[in-house]
């Protein structure tokens, strides 16, 4: 019966993790959750000073360890340099959280019926065409979608090694997508939403293909709704949450998600408790998709 004790089901002691974009926002929430469960967590990002500051704030008495690791997930040489460090210092990897992401180009007039850009179909079409560029779309897909493929494939060998350590406790990749990739509304940013939808399908393809190859690696996704982060500002009031969510119906929970809620979901997926979960996307959104048009 001891295996049913929460401390045993969610114990990550001895596990090595990487969280991209791990020094701020949702990434930092997840990093703290993994470390609190005992993992050694490498937090990555382009800004080393931000990573070092975050790592210095972690109370090791809680558990685990947080280590800054500078990494640009849109640059193959940077990815390989990070891989070399993990290979040298750890020799394997158990957890990869592909969290790095940005919002990208927005056409805020799209959601405002009174905007002059909405005069007629021709005016609206030209406004959207002129306001965004191929370069902006390419840049956003590179960080929100392409990076998942290149990070996962770069670390595949180390993840396989980690998955062989404890029978039944495979390594785990968790891709942080978004309810924006599941919602049918554009929310003023067609590019972001479609990039997240692509990330969702990429998650499922990677899960299937890697399982068919027989490697001990589980791949899943978490799709957060509105959480307090650098991308969503400080969304405290229900009105502020709805302003970010941009649904046709308000978010039923009437609040943003908490750090414990997103971190707890990821900890479940990468722990023994989530060991039978493959190729899934878990939506944690306060009920937003339950009341708004979505493909879920």
Catalytic residue of the set 42, 141, 171, 192: 192
Taking the C-alpha atoms of residue 79 and residue 72, their distance in angstroms, rounded to an integer, is: 7
Quick count: other Cβ atoms within 10 Å of Cβ 135? 9
246 is catalytic: no
42 is catalytic: no
Residue 25 dihedral angles phi and psi, to the nearest 5°? 50, -140
Cα-Cα end-to-end distance for the chain: 36
What sign has the CA pseudo-torsion 210, 15, 175, 89? negative
Which are the contacts of 48, defined by CB distance < 8 A and separation ≥ 6?
A: 68, 70
Catalytic residue of the set 40, 83, 196, 246: 196
Catalytic residue of the set 37, 107, 172, 178: 178
236-258 as b/e: b if 16+ CB within 10 A: eeeebbbebbbbeebbeeebbbe
141 is catalytic: no
Taking the C-alpha atoms of residue 161 and residue 96, their distance in angstroms, rounded to an integer, is: 13
Catalytic positions are: 178, 192, 196
């Amino acid at each position: 019966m001891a295996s049913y004790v929460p401390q045993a089901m969610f114990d990550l002691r001895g596990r090595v993790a990487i969280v991209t974009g791990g020094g701020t926002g949702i990434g930092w929430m997840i990093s703290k959750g993994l470390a609190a469960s005992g993992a050694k967590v490498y937090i990555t990002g382009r800004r080393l000073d931000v990573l070092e500051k975050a790592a210095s704030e972690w109370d090791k008495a809680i558990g685990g360890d947080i280590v800054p690791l500078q990494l640009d997930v849109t640059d193959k040489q940077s990815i390989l340099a990070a891989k070399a460090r993990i290979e040298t210092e750890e020799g394997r990897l158990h957890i990869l959280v592909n969290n790095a992401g940005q919002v990208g180009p927005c056409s805020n007039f799209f959601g405002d019926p009174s905007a002059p850009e909405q005069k007629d179909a021709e005016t609206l079409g030209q406004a959207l065409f002129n306001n965004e560029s191929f370069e902006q779309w390419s840049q956003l897909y590179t960080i929100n979608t392409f990076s998942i493929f290149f990070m996962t494939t770069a670390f595949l060998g180390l993840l396989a090694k980690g998955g062989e350590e404890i029978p039944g406790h495979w390594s785990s990749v968790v891709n942080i997508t978004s309810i924006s990739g599941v919602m049918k509304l554009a929310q003023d940013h067609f590019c972001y939403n479609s990039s997240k939808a692509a990330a969702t399908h990429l998650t499922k393809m990677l899960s299937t293909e890697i399982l068919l190859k027989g490697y001990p690696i589980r791949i899943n996704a978490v799709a957060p709704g509105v959480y307090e982060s650098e991308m969503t500002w400080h969304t405290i009031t229900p009105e502020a949450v709805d302003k970010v969510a941009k649904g046709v119906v308000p978010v039923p929970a009437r609040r943003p998600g908490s750090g414990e809620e997103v971190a707890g979901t990821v900890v479940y997926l990468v722990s023994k408790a989530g060991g039978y979960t493959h190729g899934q996307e878990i939506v944690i959104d306060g009920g937003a998709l339950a009341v708004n048009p979505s493909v879920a």
